[in-house]
Chain A
Amino acid sequence: MPQKKISIRIDGELVTALEGQTILQAAQEAGKAIPTLCYLEGLSPAGACRICMVEVAGTERLLPACTTPVQEGLAVTTVSARLTQYRRMTVELLLIERNHVCSVCVSNGHCELQAMATSLGITNTRYWYDFPTLPVDMTHERFVLDHNRCILCTRCVRACAELEGANVWDVGGRGIHTRVTSDLAQPWGESPTCTSCGKCVQACPTGALAEKGAAVEEMTKRTDRLTRLAGSKRAQP
């Protein structure tokens, strides 16, 4: 059944969208960039990072572009002083939560968090750093999990479950003590379900998941391959 076409406004501009699309998808198709972190095209949206919050006419509340479906007549504002302030604060909060020391990070220069901070003009944080003491899981023969760099976007969890079907990753603990866990909180290297496919590593926006042997700045991610893979999987009957 062909999807119904509807009209919405994004930042004042009239845009045609398909029913069932999210605001983010409609905006991207119209060539409008809404910043995202936990969203990865091809994976189900999580709505966790709150970077893509947008203003929608008629409601006081901000809505995440990645999970909110479009409706006929919707009028969205993607850039405003308030949104920019909140996006900056969100990134600041992520930066202070864990030990994001770019200068010694494998993903330095190729990190989505770093790029987001740069694009938002963040040069310092106004809150104290937390400096938590976090482990690094080196048990896997090919990959490393460094909790110090994790922003809990759960892209690894979704990539593993939705693209590989292995369900190695999940989220354990709660609140500020939330951690990504492999299987039943076992060391990654002992996971009987991991296929060592490396999709999680490619999905990870920061240096939290990396290939062993990569030195500072050497870890580049190919998220586009995951998106393509997801597209071809969906195309299969």
Chain B
Amino acid sequence: MSPILDIAAFNSVREAGLAKLVPTAPRVAIGMGTCGRGNGADGVFNAFASGIERSGMDVRLVGVGCLGACYQEPLINVRLPGGPLLVLNQVKINDVPRILHDLHRGTISPESIYCKVEAWDHITGHISYGRGYPDVPNWDEVAFFKGQKKIVLRNCGFINPEDIEEYIGVGGYQALYKVLIEGRPDMVIEQIKAAKLRGRGGAGFLTGNKWDFLAKAKSEQKYIICNADEGDPGAYMNRNEIEGDPHALLEGMIIGGYVMGATEGIIYVRAEYPLAVHHIQRAIDQASEYGLLGDNILGRGFKFNIRVVEGAGAFVCGEETALIASLENRAGRPRPRPPYPAQKGLWGQPTSINNVETWYNIVPIVTKGATWFSDTGSAKSSGTKVFSLVGKVHSTGLVEMPLGTPLKTFIYDIGEGGSTPGRAIKAVQTGGPSGGCIPQEMFDTPVDYESLQQIGSIMGSGGMVVMDDDNCMVDVARFFIEFTHSESCGKCVPCRVGLNKLLRILNGITRGTVGMRDRLEAMEELGRMIRDCSLCGLGQSAPNPVLTAMRHFRDEFEEHLRAHRCRAGVCQDLALSPCENSCPLRMNIPRFLQLYKERRHDDAFLSVIFDNPLPASTGRVCQHPCENRCRRTSIDAPVNMREVHRRIADEILFTDRFDDLAARVAARKLDASGRKVAIAGAGPTGLTAAFYLALLGHDVTVFDEKSEAGGMLRFAIPEYRLPRAVVRREVELIERLGVKFVFDTRIGFDIPLNDLADRFDSVFISIGTWKESWLYLPGTELKGVYPALPFLESSAKKEAVRLGRRVAIIGGGNAAIDAARTAMRAGAEAIVVYRRDRKDMPAIEEETVAAEEEGVRFMFWSAPHRIIGDAEGGVKALEMVKTRPGEYDKSGRRRPIMTDEIQRIECDTVVLGVGETFDTDFCRASGLALQEGGTIVVDRFSLETSRASFYAGGDVITGASNVSNAMDFGKRAAKNIDERLMGESRWEAIFPTFVYAHKVPDEPNHAARHVSPALAPKTRAKTQDEVVVGMEPEAAWEEAGRCMRCDIKVPAGVS
């Protein structure tokens, strides 16, 4: 090809290029970016190539860049003459013959199509591909692309990056031609200034001003540099841009070279991007061949050359002075500015460095004008920005959005929410190691330079790493500090030594080897010092991830430090196994499974009871968070830990072994301490505290307003789920440890708190949430409207409740389901009304399923509107407003939004199960500080209240929760009360030790998960008999053997 010297030659290349893009034969374009290749695009390409050759069909096969939807790779687009461009996703080699057959047939089967493109705005040109396939969504109707505006990525995924003619075909190099013909460099700079384009590398300096500096600098030699040293973990937009559309970068740089009067352009690109290096090098060769680089560009007498320099991968070389040092063959270390590169840059000559994406915006501005450009985006940040949306989000990929778009649009609309069901998104990390973590509450923040900076993060190069409950924020902070620490050049003290120190503290926190509270303050101080004192951007921004994580997720840091607990289960040194870590009581689950597997039933029972004093009750009603974390799930299904532990408990509690083992538990009691402890509330929290305090040798008295111990276990959970006999037996064991119970006595009413303070050395308040939250609806005053808890309590006491024939239950929690099933057993019809979706219900899934089996009906997306009464003041019907899913709220569920549609069901009873609360007014009178919602103020870790020797725990602290969470409070309170009373920790002394096999099974037990048998729905729905019958011993034994023993830690390198 001879160089293009006039407009006629240019136009003929353009025609040729266009003919390649919209050929008269079918065209198949394979997404061959690194992301596509990583997902097997190479194989797909080869399969097409050989298939086409074999069949002899006239099909144009090309490789193109990536469209951005990384989670759908390999992506290909196919076009039949006259038809639209059809994008097919996740194409496998096996699909190729079918697609070729379709091409031969002249129509593509619609079910395999991801989306279509009927026309495309390349900014520099416009292509109408053709219409058709009405049932296939257009590209901008697909959630991932909705709202995206492709300016930078205008050609990516459409043109062949290795063919300059295709780039010219979509209008490429026309802007350059225009600039050269007009010959007014100053006008171009004014245009870029007016467009308010800001540097896309992260700092956001106005590009027009930067260019002006260089244009005005007087020197024989001037350099322009493209900074393609993209190094943020999780950011890869620059790679994709260069891979998919290298000529747009060249054109931007040649225009820049011309208007700034530069003599040479340099592209500093990471050597780790071989495909990008290959494409840009090929583009330079082609551009030189076509006369777009060299001594006489487009025949206009402008001389300019661009060369590629591969960086060795030091992160700090993204900093401009370090980058220049690297180009000068020196070690990549930054130097203080001023002088700025525009004054003294490469080889001491004036130099302008711009990010890859900044260069990509030049051609659109020159083509369409400044106003067109600044129309997109926000007032101070115009245009679009490409973000890499990665992490715990359903749809990942490169997203080009107008600046100023709120974060939640990225995460919930484009990303389509979390990637793992049941896990709530809690933060997004923007700006890589220089950026910060933004919590879910702040997802309304618009993504632009100023807004992100205000909340302690930065936009950086555009990385967005989404995190959910499975991510530990301490570990995330540690990861980024580890990264910047290893990339620190070592020149200045704050960054070199300060980051090392910060990393050591963070390592200590994640490994549980530091416990001092002031470490947090020390880290904050150190972080600020590194930020304020470091020499270059790397050090100045390196503490951002820690500072923002500490600001927004201080809880997690404190929990690691003070409780040595990592809720996400990431910090392995703080956990025994995933199940143990997820258990609120931190039961040693692998131990009791192994003991049971070794058929040591007594030992298994002792292992269980010392971890959990109510094993038979929790074995029936626990929410079993352990199963959500069980690694066995990766093979088939989680180990049924709860049922095995129920079996272990039942085998002892309800057999003649009981006396013997109760004596063995009591034998572990420490000598009498002479200290007296009062516990207010005989629910799971109080019983647990009583169990441990008695074992620690204290004289324990439990007060309760009811006539029997057990709290919610006894009076709220129905008989068919948890028989009374079970709770009674467990209480009996606690009584045998010497715990005294005083019933029918309400603390704060029958006995003032102050009296307790006089009579006891310590008081623990663990009252339950017995007050039903009232729903303020018209009609709740009618006869036949009951709150769920009193309703359940009455039926637990076998009191008569006037129940109608059709009962509507409002709510989606366990109390609502229990009420529905109880109503069924009383012979009524039950219908549960819930304002969100079924999967959003807080009730235990098994219970919901059981309720459905028994014939309970459900209405989702319905919020109560009013209750309609009849003439006698009874309930006649319930009216509901239909709701629809709105935005995601903090719990990661979609918020219900009211619609205008009203529904009505006829019913004669309404049960309100919308949540429970408590009555703590009596505490205020005794000098205990309360929070606004009425919960008692306590130290989160020690459970101490504002009054000395008074402790509180359980629902009264958290609001209504579940059994195991409540028991956890009792356990921790006992430990802390004892420590405070005795002045030393004697906790470990009460626990027996066990010797058992510590060996990972060579082969996991291949048995499928065992489920405890249940009574048939038809028969059980009429009785109070326990629905779930315990597991058979052999089934439980086999189930215990399914455990993969995550508790065994093998040192690295040992197999």
Query: Which chain A residues have a beta carbon within 8 Å of chain B's beta carbons?
Result: 45-50, 53, 61-62, 64, 67-69, 82, 85-86, 89-90, 93-94, 96-97, 126-128, 130, 151-152, 171, 173-178
Contacts and interface: CB of A to CB of B under 8 A. Distances in A.
Contact of A97 (B335, B338, B497, B522): B497
B490 A69 contact: no
Interface in B484-498: 485-494, 496-498
B534 interface: yes
17 contacts: A48-B491, A50-B534, A53-B532, A68-B338, A69-B338, A85-B529, A86-B532, A90-B533, A126-B522, A130-B500, A174-B488, A175-B485, A175-B487, A175-B490, A175-B496, A176-B497, A178-B491
8 A-B pairs closest in CB distance:
A178-B490, A93-B497, A47-B336, A67-B336, A175-B488, A176-B500, A50-B533, A97-B497
B504 interface: yes
Contacts of A127: 501, 522
Interface string B680-698: 0000000000000000000
Interface string B130-163: 0000000000000000000000000000000000
Given A89-B525, A127-B501, 17 more contacts: A47-B335, A47-B336, A50-B534, A68-B336, A86-B532, A93-B494, A94-B493, A96-B501, A97-B497, A128-B504, A152-B490, A152-B493, A171-B490, A173-B490, A174-B314, A175-B499, A176-B490
A130 to B, nearest CB: 7
Nearest to B514: A128
Query: Which of A68, A152, A176 has the most chain B CB within a 10 Å cutoff?
Result: A176
B535 interface: yes
A53 to B, nearest CB: 6
B331 interface: yes
Interface in B62-98: none
Contacts of B532: 53, 61-62, 82, 86
Interface string B513-542: 000000000100110010011110000000
A176 B491 CA distance: 9
A177 B533 contact: no
A126 B498 CA distance: 13
Interface in B782-804: none
A110 B525 CA distance: 31
Contacts of A178: 489-491, 496
Interface string B461-499: 000000000000000000000000111111111101111
A81 to B, nearest CB: 13
Contact of B492 (A45, A50, A69): A50
A126 B338 CA distance: 34
B486 to A, nearest CB: 6
A89 B496 contact: no
Contacts of B525: 85, 89
A69 B343 CA distance: 14
Contacts of A46: 491
Given A62-B533, A86-B529, A86-B532, A174 B501 contact: no
Nearest to A49: B493
Contacts of B338: 68-69
A127 B501 CA distance: 8
Contacts of B493: 48-50, 90, 93-94, 151-152
A17 B947 CA distance: 63
B489 A174 contact: yes
Nearest to A94: B493
A54 B534 CA distance: 13
B423 to A, nearest CB: 35
Interface string B410-439: 000000000000000000000000000000
B529 A89 contact: yes
A215 to B, nearest CB: 29
Contacts of A126: 522
A151 B533 CA distance: 17
Query: Which of A50, A64, A67, A86 has the most chain B CB within a 10 Å cutoff?
Result: A50
Given A67-B336, A96-B501, A175 B535 contact: no
Contact of A93 (B336, B491, B498): B498
Nearest to B486: A175
Given A48-B493, A49-B493, A126-B522, A175 B534 contact: no
Contacts of A86: 529, 532-533
Contact of A47 (B331, B486, B492, B526): B492
B535 A50 contact: yes
Contacts of A175: 485-490, 496, 499-500
A151 to B, nearest CB: 8
Contacts of B488: 174-176
Query: Which of B335, B490, B504, B526 has the most chain A CB within a 10 Å cutoff?
Result: B490
A161 to B, nearest CB: 12
A70 to B, nearest CB: 12
B496 A152 contact: yes
A96 B501 CA distance: 9
B271 to A, nearest CB: 17
Nearest to B332: A174
Contacts of B486: 175
A220 to B, nearest CB: 25
B611 to A, nearest CB: 35
A174 B535 CA distance: 15
A204 B501 CA distance: 25
A151 B535 CA distance: 16
Contacts of B533: 50, 53, 62, 86, 90
Contacts of B489: 174-175, 178
A231 B533 CA distance: 30
A157 B485 CA distance: 24
Contacts of A128: 504
Contacts of A62: 532-533
B485 A176 contact: yes
Contacts of B492: 47-50
Nearest to A173: B490
B516 to A, nearest CB: 11
A125 B288 CA distance: 61
Query: Which of B333, B338, B496 has the most chain A CB within a 10 Å cutoff?
Result: B496
Nearest to B338: A69
A194 to B, nearest CB: 21
B496 A176 contact: yes
A187 B500 CA distance: 27
Contacts of A61: 532
B148 to A, nearest CB: 35
B37 to A, nearest CB: 32
Contacts of B504: 128
Nearest to A177: B490
Contacts of A89: 498, 525-526, 529
B229 to A, nearest CB: 16
Contacts of A82: 532
Nearest to A67: B336
A60 B335 CA distance: 20
A127 B519 CA distance: 10
Contacts of B535: 47-48, 50, 64
Nearest to B335: A47
A178 B533 CA distance: 19
Given A47-B336, A176-B485, A94 B497 contact: yes
A111 B515 CA distance: 36
Contacts of A48: 491-493, 535
B119 to A, nearest CB: 49
Nearest to A55: B532
A85 B522 CA distance: 13
